[in-house]
């Protein structure tokens, strides 16, 4: 089997991209987008398996209401795991996909060694989103807020021209909330990424709003790594995770001080070191 391919699962063509060797890490999301976020060095250190979920796949049949449900997405992941013959692996979810990773580990725990949750808030409720927006308005620099306002005014035109990629356009125009420093290549990261908007709307708008990751941690029986960016205004502030303290001995929480929503891209060395120490269970001396 080659490093890239497609499996048709329940009428959706789900792509996969496998790179590196070593401990397998299953990354949930887009098999086109997510490989671009990780450095060549860390992709050589482990066996990375990037897979689509159906929110990033065009269906080969007419969509049905039940296609949007999170349990269907989780079943797809399990089907892909079986097809790719993965056992004893780390599952990773970034942003909204952290909800998928945690829920998969809860429902299908048999082969999950560890769980990595990156750059997510504990919940995606409207109340939390309002708090994140207020935090941005009250604490972001005037220059950052100006960049955001300048770009977000262009969003309506983007969507009018290309409504099927509304999710992508929102991510690109929100770069001032996503990155610690301004990045000219934000749009290039999304080149060639397909989006299934009815499914994305349901997952982000309803399914994730009904979950709470801190509550879910009690049901995840394996070690959990939570990685956060200090300047990640998408899911800010990091203090939303303050409740995860020493009373959660199976959880390792790391805040990357010069990162926004993508520390693997913005602080690759610090990210690699922190993740590697945790995966390999290394204790670093206290400074």
Q: How far is CA 184 from CA 82, 86, 114, 188, in A?
A: 39, 37, 34, 9
Q: Please state, in angstroms and rounded to a whole number, the distance separating the CA atoms of residues 14 and 80.
A: 8
Buried b (16+ CB within 10 A) or exposed e, 258-268: ebbbbbbbbbb
**H or E element that contains 256:** strand 251-256
Write the DSSP assignment of 47-102 as a string of letters. Answer: EEEEEE-GGGS-BSS---GGGG-HHHHHHHHHHHHHHTT--SEEEEEETTHHHHHH
How many CB atoms sit inside 10 A of residue 285's CB? 4
Handedness of CA 27, 29, 31, 33 (dihedral sign): negative
The pair of structure tokens assigned to 88 is 């004893």
Residue 191, classified by CB atoms within 10 Å of its CB into exposed (0-12), middle (13-18) or buried (19+), is exposed
Handedness of CA 171, 192, 11, 29 (dihedral sign): negative
Q: Please state, in angstroms and rounded to a whole number, the distance separating the CA atoms of residues 284 and 287.
A: 9
Whether the Cβ atoms of residue 208 and residue 96 lie closer than 8 Å to each other: yes
The pair of structure tokens assigned to 6 is 């497609």
| Catalytic residue, candidates 67, 132, 232, 274 | 232
| Catalytic residue, candidates 95, 132, 174, 274 | 95
Strand-pairing partners, residue 92, are 27, 116
Known active-site residue 95: yes
Catalytic residue numbers read 95, 232, 261
């Amino acid at each position: 089997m080659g490093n890239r391919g497609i499996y048709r699962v329940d009428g959706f063509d789900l792509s996969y991209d496998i790179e590196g060797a070593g401990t397998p890490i299953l990354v949930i999301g887009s098999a086109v987008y997510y490989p671009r976020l990780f450095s060549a060095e860390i992709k050589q250190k482990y066996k990375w398996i990037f897979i689509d979920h159906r929110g990033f796949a065009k269906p080969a049949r007419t969509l049905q209401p039940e296609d949007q449900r999170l349990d269907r997405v989780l079943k797809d992941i399990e089907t892909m795991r079986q097809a790719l013959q993965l056992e004893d692996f780390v599952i990773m979810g970034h942003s909204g996909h952290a909800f998928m990773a945690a829920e998969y580990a809860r429902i299908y725990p048999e082969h999950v060694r560890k769980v990595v949750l990156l750059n997510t808030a504990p919940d995606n409720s409207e109340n939390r989103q309002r708090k994140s927006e207020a935090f941005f308005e009250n604490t972001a620099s005037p220059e950052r807020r100006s960049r955001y306002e300048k770009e977000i005014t262009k969003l309506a035109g983007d969507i009018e021209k290309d409504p099927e990629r509304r999710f992508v356009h929102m991510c690109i125009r929100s770069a001032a909330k996503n990155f610690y420093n301004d990045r000219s290549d934000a749009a290039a990261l999304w080149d060639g990424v397909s989006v299934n908007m009815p499914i994305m709307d349901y997952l982000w708008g309803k399914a994730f709003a009904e979950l709470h990751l801190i509550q879910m941690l009690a049901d995840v029986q394996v070690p959990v790594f939570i990685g956060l960016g200090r300047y990640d205004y998408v899911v800010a502030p990091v203090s939303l995770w303050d409740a995860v303290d020493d009373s959660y001995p199976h959880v390792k929480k790391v805040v990357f001080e010069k990162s926004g929503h993508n520390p693997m891209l913005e602080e690759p060395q610090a990210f690699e070191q922190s993740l590697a120490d945790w995966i390999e269970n290394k204790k670093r001396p206290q400074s």
